[in-house]
A and B are shown apart, each in its own frame.
Chain A
Amino acid sequence: MYAAPPTGMPDPFFIHTFTDDGVGGPIISLNAQALTSTAWGTANLALFIPFTITERHTYVRACVCNGATVAGNFDVGVYRGTARLFSTGTTAQAGVSQMQVVTGLSWTLDPGDYYLALATNSTTATFMCGNIASGGYGMAVTGGKQQTTAFVLPNPATLANYATVFVPLFGIFEKTWV
């Protein structure tokens, strides 16, 4: 079957919650603020942030941006709707105030709309986050979803409206050199 060649802006090599294909940039722009180290607050909460790609890519790294306190375990995944396509599985959070990288992945995604998902089983684990004024505002800005009691990342997810006042920086990268 013929498929028209892709047009327009190509997808970035690094899809994360603050790229143009994520939502963090607009949040930061709206609030004119830097990212801050923010405690997760609710153990086993999963956040789902939408992104879109227009071509097929394979991602080999999942990355989170740790804050000043590390604790517990996290799980990064990719969903299409409520279906979990890939996840890192439970990973001990390690390394304060730096990017933590999960290696050994081969996540191939076709063009479409997805969610990047992050969950942690710790209330005190911190991530670098863009903070938003209120839960309802957050949902409106992000188009994101969330699920409580969702560690490790479940399949399928039961998605509720985003009611969290921050957006963590995390994502997936096509190259091996982070």
Chain B
Amino acid sequence: MSYGAPSLERVPIMINVSLLQMMMEARTFFGGGATPSDRTWPVANLALYLPLLIPKKINVANMFWQNGATISGNVCMGLYNEAGTRLQQTTIVAHAGASAIQAPSITAFDLPRGRYWLGIAFSSATATIRGFGTSAVGADANKWCAIGEEALGSTQIPTTMTPVASARNVFLPFIGITRN
């Protein structure tokens, strides 16, 4: 058996968009610690892809987002590897629970150290999600945070993501994962 040095890297129980593991620069570009507020999903069946950096293997318990006050349509969330291949997803679920964290049931899975993307799509352009919508960088805050987007034909997030440059200047949804 080979010796493996212990990893001292800490991984928070909950990783969300305000933490280093997703986008440290968000603290700068999206209002510098501003409180998330209700944001209307920009376009029906639009997927957003946000970077996720994992410093050591974890066991993922949930993928989640925080709803806004207006509930509408369906939601699907997934996890992609660095190359853009979908590894895990939630089922397509009804958007439910005003202003609540929504975390569809999934089977826990191991996630090795690496670079990933979290994808999320809403079917409704009136649904709201908590998020950040002010920018300290001017236009193109999403691009500077490496956020991509993709127009889908449905709410089902694809097996392979094909993002384009985000046309959302400032739209950072409050999403993330939790670990066991």
Residues of chain A whose beta carbon lies under 8 Å from any beta carbon of chain B? 6-14, 16, 18-20, 24-25, 28-29, 32-35, 37, 63, 65, 67, 97-99, 128, 169, 173, 175, 177-178
Contact = CB atoms under 8 A, between A and B. Distances in A.
Contact of B144 (A18, A37, A97, A175): A18
A19 B53 CA distance: 13
B137 interface: yes
A35 B138 contact: yes
B51 to A, nearest CB: 6
A99 B113 CA distance: 31
Contacts, number: 97
Interface stretch (B20-28, B35-43, B61-69, B98-106): B20-28
A25 B162 CA distance: 29
A13 B146 CA distance: 7
B139 A9 contact: no
A98 B113 contact: no
Contact of A10 (B25, B115, B137, B143): B115
A33 B32 CA distance: 8
B97 interface: no
A24 B137 CA distance: 12
B94 interface: no
Contacts of B51: 12-14
A55 to B, nearest CB: 9
Contacts of A99: 139-140, 143-144
Q: Name, among A13, A97, A169, A177, the residue most crowded by chain B CB atoms within 10 Å (CB to CB).
A: A177
B91 to A, nearest CB: 27
A34 B136 contact: yes
B165 A97 contact: no
Interface string B107-148: 000000111000000000000000000001111100111101
